[in-house]
Amino acid sequence: MTFNDIFKSSFLEKAVSFSAVDFIIAMALAFALGLFIFWIYKKTFNGVMYSASFGVSLMAMTMITTLVILAVTSNVVLSLGMVGALSIVRFRTAIKEPMDIAFLFWSIAVGIVLGAGLIPLAVFGSVFVGLILWVFVNRKTSDHPYIMIINCADKEGETKALYKIKESVKKQVLKSKTVSKTGIEMTLEVRLKGDDSGFVNEISEIDGVDSAVLVSYNGDYMS
């Protein structure tokens, strides 16, 4: 193989035919839309512990997916090889929040659409999805559940506490009851009438009630 044969190889010809302008435009848009996804994730996060690294990974995933699709769309043979290579990739990181899955698919979808050259679809689609998430995830509900834990010394204290709870909340459901020689512990799910939690103070002052605890509950850290 001579020196001229090297420059005539198909590999170098593909490198020369690569469009730097298309790459810059696609990656710039991927960065902007990835930043938008990161911002929506930060504003709509309602989980237990916020992870900034996950937000950054959403932005990086958008750019990486765009880069892969740019390569795949340039060559049919390369696309088949890329599918085989990506099929062996396995991710072991656990997804703790259900909404994180939606953001992951959103980032990947935006990268695929941008890499395919459908810029208006990627931009307007991201804005539409972002607005939907902003409205529905941040929507406040008046029927917010709470968990109430009451420790009573005897049966009389339990009866008085349950009666007070029934007349003070909109709905109550007994979740568990533990009876021991030292007293009675009850766990209830309650729905408040508005935002008034002053009845908890009144319950704690009832004779036979040792303590009363009210905890906001969204299913993330209690079962």
For residue range 76-118, what is the model confidence (pLDDT) as tens digits?
A: 555 555 655 555 555 566 666 778 888 888 898 998 888 888 8
| Amino acid 37: pLDDT | 92
- Which residues of the chain form CATH 3.30.70.260? 145-216
Task: List, in sequence order, the alpha helices (H) in 45-97.
Answer: 52-73, 76-86
| Amino acid 68: pLDDT | 82
| Amino acid 223: pLDDT | 38
- Distant-in-sequence, close-in-space partners of 27: CB < 8 Å, separation ≥ 6: 63, 66, 67
Q: Is 90 helix (H, G, I), strand (E, B) or coil?
A: coil
| Amino acid 36: pLDDT | 93
| Amino acid 33: pLDDT | 92
CB 100 within 8 A of CB 54: yes
145-216: CATH topology: Alpha-Beta Plaits (3.30.70)
Strands 209-216 and 169-180: unpaired
To the question of pTM greater than 0.85 for the whole model, the response is no
Phi/psi zone of residue 194: left (φ > 0), alpha (ψ -120 to 50 degrees), beta? Answer: left
From 56, 85, 88, select the one nearest 68 (Cα to Cα).
85
Nearest-angstrom CA–CA distance, 198 and 204: 10
Ranges of the chain with pLDDT below 70: 1-18, 47-49, 74-96, 138-143, 217-223
Other C-beta atoms closer than 10 Å to the C-beta of 154 total 12
| Amino acid 222: pLDDT | 41
